[in-house]
Amino acid sequence: MTSVRLRLDPESVAAAGGTLAGIAQRMADDVAVLENTVHGAAHPWGDDESGSTFTVAYSSILGHALAALGSYVQQVGDAALSLAVQARAMAGTDAAAAASLVSLAPPADRVEPVCLARPADRVEPVPLAPPADLVGPGASGCSGGPGT
């Protein structure tokens, strides 16, 4: 069994949106070239009677096909825009979450050391000193717990 990981970060989502926008633009350009070729002055099927007859019959079908292609181009463009909007939303959510986590952290000079102690009848607890960067200089470890 294979496991697939999906990593979403604002930069990669925005890049995918940019790539998709480029594809939509190329599609739109190609549809415009096709439309100009078929409806242009060059008469791709000729100026004779059979070419003119074919042009009339083909134009009704072509109109439907060009409308469908235009719809596909619009859908790809909308997807590209949605990815760009989603990337901005993800970045905003990440920033808000990070700010909220930072605001919850107590100031370094107010961190109290924690002792992990067992009941006194078993084993004498061992005070654990928190890292110096959390409590500042002069931290002495546990106080107020059983056996301290």
Q: What is the pLDDT of residue 119?
A: 52
When comparing pLDDT for 142 and 100, which is higher?
100
Mean per-residue pLDDT for 8-24?
93
Are 51 and 43 in contact, with CB atoms under 8 Å apart? yes
What per-residue confidence (pLDDT) applies to 18?
A: 95
The two structure tokens encoding residue 144: 């107020």
Give the model confidence (pLDDT) of 73-122 as tens digits. 999 999 999 999 999 999 999 999 988 888 887 776 666 666 555 555 55
Domain spans of the chain, in order of start: 10-105, 107-148
Does residue 63 or residue 40 have the better pLDDT? 63
